[in-house]
A and B are shown apart, each in its own frame.
Chain A
Amino acid sequence: MCWCPAWAVSTARRADASLVQAPVAVVERGTRGPVVCAVSRQARAEGVTIGIRRREAEARCAGLVVVDRDPAAEARVFETVARAMEPITPTVVLERPGVLSFPTRGPSRYFGGDDQLAARVLAVAEAAGVPDARVGIADGAFAARLATRSTGPERVLVVAPGATATFLAPWPVVVLGQTFGDRPDEGAAFADLLARLGLRTLGDLAALPAPAVLGRFGLDGAHAHRLACGRSEHTAPPAPPPPDLVETCELEPPATRVDEAAFAAKALADHLIARLDALGLACDRVVVEAETEHGERHARCWRHEGGLTASALVARVRWQLDAWLADGATSVRGPGIPARSECDHDEDQATSGLTLLRLAPDRVVPATTRQLGFWGGDAAAHDRAARVLARLQGMLGHDAVATAVVGGGRAPSERVRWVPWGEPRDEAQPAPAPWPGAIPGPAPARVHPDPVPAELLDEHGAPVHVSGRGEASAPPAVLRCPALPGGGGAVVAWAGPWPHDLRWWARATRRRRAFWQVVVHDDAACLVVVEGGRAAVEAIYD
């Protein structure tokens, strides 16, 4: 297994060369706001660690550069590393951007031993622009991953065959939490339970008899016990799947954009997972294959701990397509990549649209630990709705069908975010922040995304202005706008103005505007925005 530490940081540095010497932290939006998910060495020296909040990280390290996480770019750049490994072995498997693995038996014999192979992998990674890659070789993916974590200054650790259990014994049980794949919370709870029962290391767990562990902790426990003993992750040896499980889809016309291809991939992934479910199987390795108009074929294998779900599969296909379809303008190259690998990169890119997409499960295992909801419940209604919405997306485009997420903001149009159907809604709300100048009262039922130009006049017929200090030139008396019933008219009541000074710290994007709540005759209430001396109706209380 080859691990590139803090891959998210390396990706950010390749995109922006000015970050190479600076302390960098990559943040990801978690349930409690932006949380650091990767840090550079310079930042770690200042005390920035993974899991702390963005603000805390900035407080610990002055001059910290904070970058948002971009999994698609990470996968795209990692593809260059994966390609560089292909001369060593044809069976490269990506775990996630930053980690790849392959069976070492063949290559090891060819290069003359595990140590020679590891040195070779490091040299290749360095040539591909990853000077700090680490290599761990052990029996099984779990032990190999831990081996990469405990390498010394030579960045290689080879666990001799058969010595895996001894190597694993001193590790704390917390590391088992990562083997739960999509259920990190359950994994953490399980590890916590073991620790509270006095089983602090993998060696303690391995010393227990397997039937007792199965009886007390169920299938998850048995799985963990197998890992702790240094045995294979699977009870039954994973079988090559029957060839008829391969899902193929021809793209006509050829897809040249990632979202077009990803849309097709979504249907393909859903179908594949549904068929595997029906057979009682789960897939933990899948080969994504694509063919282009020029007859090129690309294939890449992805592995996932704990079985791939449809959404996890779609995310991986999307990353992979992104890497293949990225053209010269969007492909990220940094100063660290030497010219040779740059050429390779160009040669290997898809030179035209994709005509065929294939998902082939590479390894299937019995889906023993997955249990679907017993009561159908809302699932039937959900499936029915999902079918219709997917059809409409096919007809009108991916973005045309969306659900709304209400978030923070000052103006009504800024408070709603649209999430295309099928993408995660990510409703994790940060704590309600104060929005100075937010319009109080009920939310308007009609919000114009482009405010409708209007005339807001005082009693002398002059336009109403709002000064820089938020003072109105005169109370509004007449509002005319085609969006209002009857074209507007005399103002019956009003409130405001609420002045907003947006992004005052940046001269180029600074905006100043003021909101008025105005009720005209016939009790039509609306929200008027005045910006740059021009008034417009932004929302109507209908």
Chain B
Amino acid sequence: MTAAALPRRDEAARARLREVAGRAQPLTLARERLLPVAEPLGELLPGGGLRRGTVVSVEGTGATGATSLAWTLAAAATDTGEWAAAVDLHGTLGMEAAAAAGVALERFPVVRNVTSDRWATVVAALLDGITMVLAEVPCQARVGDVRRLVARARERDAVLVALPAPGATWAGDAALRITSEGGTWAGASHDAGPITGRVVRVRVGGRGEAARHRVGALALTG
């Protein structure tokens, strides 16, 4: 190829290039920044999934199914090939249940036995490189830390799933608040055999589209 065949690098050519680049700049719709969540729970969420860059708080009173809901969300992230991570304050997360819910454990590292003074640092670090972070929230988490984490999640386009202590609520801003209200166990009676599963009542609230509360029933195992 000869040099004469190349376009001349003058001002006009540059301006045209800039104009084309401007038109071609990727435009991301809010819909595209969604992590889709599978059917039963996904139906209750606005848009059928979790928006990246937001905080989701999953609350319950201790044995009402909040952790199982969190596994469902983590499974949604690892299903799409993304990474998820968990911050386990007391080493009590049951990984077998997570695997049963569909979480790909090889893409689900867990940071265990985190002291509450390092909690905010750990969660912030995870948000830097991992798409979904499931974080148990210590009771004495500072409001300032919580606010910084919300900002960090937005900045990094990650989803922070907050798991407050039983009975507590997430002190910061949350786009979605998913509350699990429990339900009757199937198979449970006086020595009739082990429990097999249950249907829990789930209430989804939050800001914006999610402000209108939705309530649904969800079959969970574990």
Contact = CB atoms under 8 A, between A and B. Distances in A.
Interface of A: 378, 381-382, 384-385, 387-389, 391-392, 395-396, 400-406, 412, 415-416, 418, 421, 425, 427, 439-449, 475, 484-485, 492-496, 517, 519, 522-526, 539-542
B92 A448 contact: yes
Most chain A CB within a 10 A radius of its CB, from B81, B96, B131, B221: B96
8 contacts: A396-B118, A402-B110, A404-B98, A442-B97, A449-B92, A485-B62, A523-B184, A525-B185
Given A385-B129, A495-B194, A542-B64, A403 B106 contact: yes
Interface in B100-144: 100, 105-114, 118, 121-122, 125-126, 128-131
Contact of B194 (A403, A440, A492): A440
Most chain B CB within a 10 A radius of its CB, from A378, A392, A440, A496: A392
B131 to A, nearest CB: 7
Contacts of B198: 523
A412 B206 CA distance: 35
A485 B63 contact: yes
A523 B62 CA distance: 11
Contact of A445 (B61, B67, B184, B193): B67
B81 A378 contact: yes
B62 A542 contact: yes
B190 A415 contact: no
Interface residues of B, number: 64
Nearest to A518: B188
Nearest to A540: B63
B185 A493 contact: yes
A446 B92 contact: yes
Contact of B109 (A403, A493, A495): A403
B113 A412 contact: no
A406 B63 contact: no
Given A445-B71, A493-B189, A517-B194, A381 B131 contact: yes
B110 A525 contact: no
A496 B190 CA distance: 10
B82 A416 contact: no
A439 B196 CA distance: 11
A475 B182 contact: no
Given A442-B195, A449-B92, A524 B111 contact: no
Given A403-B106, A445-B97, A447-B92, A388 B128 contact: yes
Contacts of B222: 442-445, 541
A442 B197 contact: yes
Nearest to A405: B105
Given A385-B109, A404-B110, A425-B106, A392 B185 contact: no
> What are the 3 tightest A-B residue pairs by CB atom distance, in nearest-first order?
A388-B129, A524-B63, A485-B62
A388 B110 CA distance: 12
Contacts of B113: 400
Contact of A384 (B61, B68, B129, B196): B129
Contacts of B131: 381
A400 B95 contact: no
Q: Is the interface of A mostly helix, strand, loop or mixed?
A: mixed
Nearest to A388: B129
A446 B67 CA distance: 8
Interface in B52-98: 60-68, 71, 81-83, 85, 90-98
B99 interface: yes
Contacts of A440: 194
Given A484-B63, A495-B194, A403 B110 contact: yes
B40 interface: no
Contacts of B92: 446-449
A539 B110 contact: no
Contacts of B187: 441
B193 A495 contact: yes
Contacts of B190: 475, 493-494
A426 B122 CA distance: 27
A441 B195 contact: yes
Contact of B192 (A388, A495, A540): A495
A542 B96 contact: no
A391 B93 contact: no
Given A378-B81, A406-B105, A519 B188 contact: yes
B54 to A, nearest CB: 19
Contacts of B60: 542
Interface of B: 60-68, 71, 81-83, 85, 90-100, 105-114, 118, 121-122, 125-126, 128-131, 166-167, 182-185, 187-198, 221-222
Contacts of A523: 63-64, 182-185, 198
B46 to A, nearest CB: 25
Given A439-B194, A442-B97, A485-B63, 19 more contacts: A381-B82, A388-B125, A406-B95, A406-B105, A415-B96, A425-B106, A440-B194, A445-B67, A447-B96, A484-B63, A494-B191, A495-B192, A495-B193, A519-B195, A522-B63, A523-B185, A526-B63, A542-B63, A542-B67
Nearest to A444: B94
B117 to A, nearest CB: 12
Contacts of A448: 90, 92
Contacts of A485: 61-64, 166-167
B109 A446 contact: no
A539 B197 contact: no
Nearest to A420: B109
Given A385-B129, A392-B125, A523-B184, A416 B194 contact: no
A421 to B, nearest CB: 6
Contact of A443 (B96, B109, B126): B96
Contacts of B194: 439-441, 495-496, 517
Contacts of A382: 83
Nearest to B83: A385
B195 A541 contact: yes
A1 to B, nearest CB: 39
Contacts of B107: 385
A395 B166 CA distance: 28
A288 B113 CA distance: 34
Contacts of B126: 388, 392
Given A405-B105, A441-B195, A445-B222, A519 B185 contact: yes
Nearest to A391: B125
Contacts of A418: 110, 112
A382 B95 CA distance: 21
Given A401-B109, A519-B195, A541-B195, A406 B96 contact: yes
Contacts of B130: 384-385, 388
Contacts of A406: 95-96, 99, 105
Contacts of B62: 484-485, 524, 540, 542
